[in-house]
Amino acid sequence: MRTLCIDIGGTAIKGNVLDLAGAPLAERVRIETPRPAVPADVLATAVEVARRLGEFDRISCGFPGVVEGGVVHTAPNLDGDWAGYKLAADLELRLGKPCRAANDADVHGLAVIESKGVELVLTLGTGMGSGLYTDGRCVWNLELGHHPFNGDETYEDRVDDAVRKKIGNKKWRRRVRAVVDQLAPIFNYRRLYLGGGNSARLDPADLPENVTIVDNRAGIAGGLKL
């Protein structure tokens, strides 16, 4: 059983084929997300990722927005009209294999959680994704990034990639720590995982002991769990 795992992001669309043990069966493919990131162009790019990876039996897809039953409800860091888009069904039609689709941060977390108590995942990339788990069960589509942080700003406004480039990594890391400190007494998580493309810019020494930095490739590995 070969699973094609696709990770659609605001910056890039990535994919690989994994066996049932999670071992990659090809070299990961990464293609920049087309702009404007409208459904037709994004799906065409996802199909190109699949074409470069060879044979597979089923598909998983992580998507940067709210996804319920394989249908997109929001896509805040993409373009065009995604509301109501039947993502899983479209990929099945285009690629001829069964597909499951879910929020990308939720999928990311499935690869790294220990399935013990309350665990929280934040993905730091184009925006800020989030995933919440209780004893391994996902609370799907928790969009913490869009919650107010301070006045008119949201969590995502404070730590997204655009603001990181504007203020520099040092100040951005302090903002990430402020987000962590604010969420800790709210969720009382046993462990927090920081992933996404910008997690590699963090320093573990700046973070509490129960916070772990995880590899962005979890977005692919979590597809197998999905």
Residue 78 has pLDDT above 90, yes or no: yes
Q: What is the pLDDT of residue 186?
A: 96
Residues 14-19: what's their mean pLDDT?
98
Main-chain dihedrals φ then ψ at residue 153, nearest 5 degrees: -85, 150
Q: What is the pLDDT of residue 45?
A: 98
**pLDDT tens by residue, 45-55:** 999 999 999 99
pLDDT bin (cut points 50, 70, 90) of residue 86 is very high
Percent of the chain with pLDDT over 90: 98
Q: What is the pLDDT of residue 98?
A: 98
Residues 137-152: what's their mean pLDDT?
93
Q: What is the pLDDT of residue 131?
A: 98
Alpha helices in 96-168 (DSSP H): 104-110, 155-159, 161-167
Q: What is the pLDDT of residue 29?
A: 98
Residues 156-173: what's their mean pLDDT?
97
Distance CA 109, CA 196 (A): 10
Q: What is the pLDDT of residue 121?
A: 98
User: What distance, in Å, lies between the first and last C-alpha atoms of the chain?
Assistant: 14
Q: What is the pLDDT of residue 104?
A: 97
Q: What is the pLDDT of residue 21?
A: 96
Q: Hey, what are 29's tokens? A: 């493919």
Mean pLDDT of the chain: 97
∠ Cα 73 76 79 (to 5°): 95
Query: Which residues touch 91 (CB under 8 Å, ≥6 apart)?
Result: 6, 43, 46, 59, 61, 99, 101
**pLDDT tens by residue, 193-217:** 999 999 999 999 999 999 999 998 8
Residues 110-127: what's their mean pLDDT?
97
pLDDT bin (cut points 50, 70, 90) of residue 26 is very high
pLDDT bin (cut points 50, 70, 90) of residue 173 is very high
Residues 2-27: what's their mean pLDDT?
97
pLDDT bin (cut points 50, 70, 90) of residue 150 is confident
Tell me the domains of the chain and their CATH numbers: 3-106 (3.30.420.40), 115-215 (3.30.420.40)
Question: At residue 184, what is the residue type?
Answer: A
